[in-house]
Amino acid sequence: MSAQRYTVTPHPVGTILAWVEAGQIAIPEIQRPFVWEATKVRNLLDSLYQGFPVGYLIAWQNPTVKLKDGSFSAGKRILIDGQQRVTALMAAILGQEVLTKDYETTRIRIAFNPQEERFEVSNPAILKNKAWFADVAELFSAQAKLLELTRAYVAANAGMDENSIFSALERLRGIKNNQVGIIDLAPELDIETVTEIFIRVNSAGATLSQADFAMSKIAANETYSGNALRKAIDYFCHLAVAPEFFARVEKNDPTFASSEFFAQMRWLKDVNDDIYDPTYTDMLRVAFTSEFRRGKLADLVALLSGRNFETKQYEEAIAEESFERLKRGILRFINKTHFDRITMILRSAGFVTNDMIGGRNAVNFAYILFLRGRAENLPPADLERLVRRWYAMAVLRGRYTGSPETAFDLDIRQVESHGLVAHAETVIQTELPESFWTGMLPQLMDTSSAQSPYFLAYKAAQVKLGDKGFLSRDITVLDLLMNRSDVHHVYPRNHLKKQGLPRGRYNQIANFVLAQSEINIAIGDKPPEQYFAELAEQCAGADKKYGGITNRDELRANLRMSCLPEPLLDGEIPAYDDFLDERRKLMAQKIKAWFEAL
């Protein structure tokens, strides 16, 4: 039987809050937006008032770190699960302000009705209602005198029993004595084990990740400006989505606004580009892997703790160097020139809108390669071509969809061993041999997902190769994607549904073309033999029913752009499954031509 790797000790709520105020427990989430709704804070107080359990808190003491003078320093405990609950209690009981999703400080006021022994989120109506104490924090104040408060309440609410009101207020104040269990992880546990425990813990229904743990480690560090680094990551992610938030940071966080981080991200206030809006996980992955030449974020947690991988000890010098390197990586990530260049590379490959970006990790590793190549002074044109081709390969082969950290770690170590260009070219040739285009890719395109990487690559190919929309004389696929386009079914959906085909069959990506809405509407449910015959008549002088093309050669060229068999125009309408087989091969060849043009 394995030894227990934790202890469980009950502590009063008041004691836990006092520890947090004294800095004996690090609550990293206080430095990040408080994500609970006010009603959840109310429910937490009510549970404590009713004597219900509110779950365990999980803490782990930072590893003992070897200082420069040779002595050892025991780290403070980090609360790795329960941050939101403790922050909620500090907000409601101690009256502390919290940061909202918009990074504004606000008070969460929970009201209490001692007659009904009921809690509510304070609101204007409650403020005017004498039956309520509008803010329970005032009742928990050291200066609050329960007897005086009771008598004032009874005087304002005729007919109340003084003893029952006093009893309710006393019971409310008593929740600071309620016991909450703290699970203390054994201090001798190594970083990897604690990371595993951390990831297995669920918080508010969302599984915590290694990136969450890394962010907690960063924020809990006071020696090497961890809080500023964490804010840089949070603020950049928020500004990338909402540039108007810039003025709010400048006003509400003057200390950060004067930092070098804020100066580096100032350019975001004038940008509304959403092709790559990174999350904090994306930023950590790119900054860490490009700077440390490692791919597993558990290693980042270990290094930030001062882990010496050779001696298995923890050294302050390693922690200091790791924070400095991570800072360098973050500054390179947010650099305007770097960020503009990676988004430009994506666009130049044909990925011109956010919804054409499939797996984010493929973009992340492309950015890592760009940063590495730039640091190695590769010629810009060569680097852009390499990154474009790598990204396309990663999308088509799903390179980072399964275990991205393992793939990141393998690739970056191979880059270190063999060199950036040599590794990239070897992998691309191995992953995309001739048999991929002629055999594997057509088979992979047997899918009904419009978000499949193959359809995304096909759309990028049409953009890159300058194709026109289906039956459009002048409107390009780029125009359609940047403005408005319809995904038209070559063999119309309702036409196939009437034949009894299920959704997964009539929605095959090989049945999709990008078209103007008016062309899609004009075709409607007409079977292909009807509207292709009418297209042939249109080229022979009949009325224009579908788009503006009236020349047969021009129409054939348009069909080729959309990878449609030209005999359709001659009335040769194959069976639906035969059509799909033929079109998949044509689409695969277009994607190949696109890749070769990158």
Could you tell me the mean pLDDT of each successive run of 10 residues in the chain, 598 residues long?
76 90 66 76 95 87 60 66 86 86 80 96 95 95 92 92 94 94 82 68 55 80 86 91 87 90 93 87 96 92 89 89 97 96 96 89 97 95 97 96 90 95 96 96 94 96 97 94 89 92 92 94 93 93 90 95 94 94 97 97
Predicted pLDDT at 64: 63
CA distances (Å), origin 100, targets 31, 104, 107, 181, 278: 11, 5, 10, 28, 20
CB 489 within 8 A of CB 509: no
Phi/psi at 535 (nearest 5 deg)? -65, -40
Determine the Cα angle at 359 with ends 418 and 459, to 5°: 105
Predicted pLDDT at 298: 85
Token representation of residue 335: 């650099």
Reduce the DSSP state of residue 595 to 3 states and report it: helix
Predicted pLDDT at 205: 44
Predicted pLDDT at 225: 87
Predicted pLDDT at 68: 53
Tell me the pTM: 0.80
Residue 176 is given by DSSP the state: G
Rounded CA gap, 338 and 279, in Å? Answer: 17
The residue count of the chain comes to 598
Predicted pLDDT at 210: 77
Predicted pLDDT at 66: 55
Sign of CA dihedral 588, 467, 526, 505: positive
